[in-house]
């Protein structure tokens, strides 16, 4: 089976994954901690995380694939965010969302890797690939397979590749020898991610208070963002990279080479006012293969209005005044708040 492992790892690297590790399909050690996090309500509005059926699968990966004997953990890098152009109405999008939807890109490679498993075994083996779509404790699985450690900001960090990584897993019926887990915590006394987080969402136990996380607020959260947090989200219109940008382990990571994850031509968002006025059809076409669709058009527009208010720029006033007359009560309220912020900053 060691020969089989080597061949799978070699094929994974050919497909663009920079890390490939192997672990058993046994229950994750830290599932009770996940349950405590849910019980404390730190998952905010992500009710799907608290679903009993998904809990059962997170506690036992073989509920996803009864035949599973091993899990192949994989990572593929994406580029960190480009430097801001410092334009008056520029908005910020998380680096992972600047290119094509990673789900589609990575899923296609997982299918090819599953085909390699069948060829190596000389028979059809039950295998299923997942990329951020299954109830699995991905970071624990990755760490158990030797891919890195879970950092203070709850991200998986590799000493060479940092944390700008998409994680994926293949559950397979092949019984493959496990790799040694990544056993050292290399965050040490560094606390930069916690100090840099504008909303203080990174907790001392390396979990996240989702209800305060900018990524959650601008992507998963529906409805109005609490007023107490709006001024802390800055120019974020989709997601946040602050805790990764300040992480020392990302400074010397080699550049990502997968062109599908390179920023599309319309990023960064150079004029949030013009972006807000994009009609629905234009928005759908613009983000047709983009992770930004996750927020929905109204969520994205809500984020734009708050970010425009946080610029303090009077150039944003005409768009905000028009938005303040919108029939949508959330957009109307956010536009009113943004206008007030600009008024306060400009006297």
In the chain, where the domains are located: 2-79+100-172, 192-346
CA distances from 14 to 76, 113, 150, 160, 258 (A): 11, 10, 26, 19, 12
Rounded to 10°, the helix 102-121/2-14 angle is 150
Cα separation, 287 vs 290, whole angstroms: 5
Contacts of 309 (CB under 8 A, 6+ apart): 230, 316, 320, 334, 337, 338, 339, 340, 341, 342
CA gap 23, 195 in Å, rounded: 34
CA–CA separation, 41 and 3 (whole Å): 45
Active site positions, annotated: 132
Tokens 């899923």 -> residue: 107
Q: What is the pLDDT along the chain (347 residues), one digit of tens a residue?
A: 668 899 999 999 999 999 999 999 999 999 999 999 999 999 999 999 999 888 899 999 999 999 999 999 999 999 999 988 889 999 999 999 999 999 999 999 999 999 989 888 888 899 999 999 899 999 999 999 999 999 999 999 999 999 999 999 999 999 999 999 999 999 999 999 999 999 999 999 999 999 999 999 999 999 999 999 999 999 999 999 999 999 999 999 999 999 999 998 878 899 999 999 999 999 999 998 899 999 999 999 999 999 999 999 999 999 999 999 999 999 999 999 999 999 999 97
């Amino acid at each position: 089976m060691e020969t089989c492992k080597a061949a799978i790892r070699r094929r994974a690297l050919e497909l663009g994954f920079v890390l490939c590790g192997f672990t058993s399909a046994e229950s994750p050690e830290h599932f009770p901690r996940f349950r405590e996090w849910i019980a404390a309500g730190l998952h905010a509005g992500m009710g799907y995380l608290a679903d009993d059926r998904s809990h059962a699968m997170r506690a036992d990966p073989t509920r996803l694939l009864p035949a599973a004997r091993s899990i192949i953990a994989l990572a593929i890098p994406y580029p960190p965010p480009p430097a801001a152009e410092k334009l008056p109405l520029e908005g910020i999008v998380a680096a992972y969302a600047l290119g094509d939807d990673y789900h589609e890109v990575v899923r296609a490679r997982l299918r090819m890797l599953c085909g390699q498993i069948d060829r190596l075994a000389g028979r059809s083996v039950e295998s299923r690939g997942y990329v951020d779509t299954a109830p699995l404790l991905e970071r624990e699985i990755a760490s158990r397979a030797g891919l890195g450690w879970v950092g203070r900001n709850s991200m998986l960090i590799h000493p060479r590749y940092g944390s700008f990584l998409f994680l994926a897993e293949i559950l397979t019926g092949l019984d493959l020898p496990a790799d040694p887990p990544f056993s050292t915590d290399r965050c040490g006394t560094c606390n930069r991610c916690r100090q840099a987080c504008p909303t203080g969402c990174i907790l001392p136990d390396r979990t996240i208070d989702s209800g305060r996380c900018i990524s959650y607020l601008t992507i998963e959260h529906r409805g109005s963002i609490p007023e107490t947090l709006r001024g802390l989200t800055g120019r974020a219109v989709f997601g946040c990279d602050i805790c990764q940008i300040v992480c020392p382990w990302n400074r010397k990571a080699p550049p990502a080479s997968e062109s599908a994850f390179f920023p599309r031509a319309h990023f960064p968002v150079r004029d949030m006012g013009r972006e807000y006025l994009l009609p629905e059809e234009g928005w759908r076409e613009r983000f047709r293969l983009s992770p930004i669709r996750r927020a929905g058009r109204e969520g994205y527009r809500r984020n734009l209005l708050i970010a425009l208010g946080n610029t303090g720029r009077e150039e944003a006033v005409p768009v905000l005044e028009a938005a303040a007359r919108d029939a949508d009560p959330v957009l109307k309220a956010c536009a009113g708040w943004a206008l007030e912020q600009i008024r306060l900053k400009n006297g």
